[in-house]
Amino acid sequence: MSTTTSTPLIEAPDLPGWDHVVTGKVRELYVPAGTDPATATEVLVVATDRISAYDHSLQPGIPDKGRVLTAISTFWFEQLADLVPHHVISATEVPGAVAGRALRCRGLDMVPLECVARGYLTGSGLADYRAGGSVGGHVLPGGLVDASRLDPAIFTPSTKAEAGEHDENITVAQARDLLGEDLTAELERLTLAVYEKARAIAGERGILLADTKFEFGHSRVDGTLMLGDEVLTPDSSRFWNAESYVEGRAQPSLDKQFVRDWLTSRASGWHKGSNTPPPELPAEVVAQTRARYIEAYERLTGKTF
């Protein structure tokens, strides 16, 4: 594993030939200079080293995080290309100032839905199950516990909240009301097909893909439904070590859950329901988070970071 770190990209740089149009929690979005962002058929997506949790951007960033997430997404887009079209045009033909952390992508009109696939019961899915015995409208058997495996995996959509708001888990029936029968059915089919292939690939590498979130959009050129945003990264997924998996307890993870756990621990002194911003991440949490992200990349891709 590499121990050198890149200079964290926290602010949006000026990139010749591109107009900066959106600052997200962890990414910067650009369009070709002079292009209307609402109709742009090409965009530049730049991953920064920022990290977010519980709808807050945290300080400081995680060194190399943007490069790691871009590399993992690129790996997965290549693995999944036979299942679903994706938005990536190039991971290499990008401005030098953001090389390694930027993707040139097709412009998409995004579907207003987070498409979540769950192969294990944990997180908000576990909370919903404990409250009512179902997740996303799927009635599950009794007696399930934290980290129980779900076979088959289930599609559990959530709404995409505006900035500063919280995503909300909804049922598949509510998704149909929002998007229509045909689009919802296609999103469910694609979400589960991509998840199952990724679960198999990760499993071969000793990693359990507990759950993950996908986003889809329609091409502004021909309307094709495409996989967009990031895909199967430690920011959007739960990765567990197969060797240490034990049903009935929280699992050690190679993802952002490590940061969430620290934020909700006594050590942080912060309560996620409060109106106060989270505290700064301690150096050891930053270092361990970086190590987990890099381990996920190296084990999934077989490459050294």
In whole angstroms, what is the distance from residue 287 CA to residue 63 CA?
A: 8
Report the b/e string of 151-171 with b at 16+ CB within 10 A. eebbbbbbbeeeeeeebebbb
Q: Are 69 and 235 in contact (CB under 8 A)?
A: yes
- Residues of the chain under the 50 pLDDT cut: 1-7
pLDDT of res. 258: 94
Question: How confident is the model over 109-124, as pLDDT tens digits?
Answer: 999 999 999 999 999 9
pLDDT of res. 168: 87
Burial class (CB in 10 A: 0-12, 13-18, 19+), 271: exposed
pLDDT of res. 164: 53
Report the b/e string of 212-230 with b at 16+ CB within 10 A. bbbbbbbbbeeeebbbbbb
Q: Report the DSSP beta bridge partners of residue 240.
A: 208, 253
- Show Cβ contacts of residue 238 under 8 Å, excluding neighbours closer than 6 positions: 120, 122, 123, 209, 210, 211, 212, 251, 253, 255, 257
In 64-171, which residue ranges form alpha helices assigned H by DSSP? 65-80, 123-132
- 3-state DSSP call for residue 123? helix
In whole angstroms, what is the distance from residue 173 CA to residue 10 CA?
A: 40
pLDDT of res. 1: 41
In whole angstroms, what is the distance from residue 72 CA to residue 305 CA?
A: 11
The pTM score is 0.92
